[in-house]
Structure 1
Amino acid sequence: MEQKSTGKFLFNVNILIEEVNNGRALEKLLSVLNTTEFEDYQIKDGIQLGKSIEIAMRETMNTRKLSLQQRDTAEAGKPQSTSPASSVAKEAVQEDPHSLIWEQFQKYKEDNTLIRLSAIKGKGVKLSVPCRILNVDPASGNVSVYHVDEKQVYLFNIHEIDDYVIHS
């Protein structure tokens, strides 16, 4: 008998899932993908997790900007006694201290890189999660990842993440 060799084939597919919300549809999709014989897959688009948080964060930022503008307008009549160094310090505080991490996570997401995330959840529970990044949301400070062993989606806040290493 002659044995035929198999090859690997890659397809780009759009899948429409009818469900009550995006999270349930994502859950159903992951369930189907994990119960079949797919060697690997990458979800490139369609994840809409954290949108409510993102909207709330934007509204909070807009409110803060408005109150700062009103305060600045009120202080415009007063003599200026602040030094340029203090304004530079204020700008540094407003800049996101995690911007480099967000950029790296976005690159890992785009490249579908397997990483090991070490996180400390509530009550000091330490997790070591081999995962792929699904969504990065700097506005809310959240990262959603797919645990490759447990085949589940986890949501971490940036402050819960202790360390991460690229899996090779």
Structure 2
Amino acid sequence: MPTPTVHAPTPTSTNPRMVDDFSDPSRYSSEENALGYYTGDDDTVTQKTTVQGDWILLTFDTSSYWYSTLGAPNTCNDYSQFTKVNFAVRYPTSTITGFNIVLQTTNNSTCTGLNQYPVDVTSLITAATAGNDGWLHIEVRLTQFTGADLTRMRAITLSGFKSAGQVEIDYIYFS
């Protein structure tokens, strides 16, 4: 099946906080997200943006992870005004591979240390209906990240891939 060349539509929610929309290849090649903070992986992910720069392609194995920080190091970032994290995925090989989306929070008053709160989004992905462009639009309620202190957010991570494969991500934002 050929990979569609269109990208998912840009979110139009009122006052969302865009983590990244992968629209700027030069920014991304500098390992910077739309918030102006670090984004990267564990060096097992082969990643690239498309020529159009509208999404990122992640090639991964089961131990891989990719992440994007939500603020400067050792800062507590307050995301308590949001209720969902939203993202779009597409599978270029048509083989759906599930994974976890993880909220990382700091664990003390100095905003250092790290706690991780994973949610397996496999069932959300397999239940989603792709639009004409092939993108699956996923939203995860922040209440599903049981125990996460949304006033101490540090990063968002994709990990726990169920098998090796590829996935395209078009945007990640909080609403």
The TM tier, using the shorter chain, reads: under 0.3
Larger radius of gyration between Structure 1 and Structure 2: 1
Higher strand share: 2
Higher relative contact order (CA 8 A, sep 6+): 2
- TM-score for both structures, normalised by structure 2: 0.25
- TM-score for both structures, normalised by structure 1: 0.26
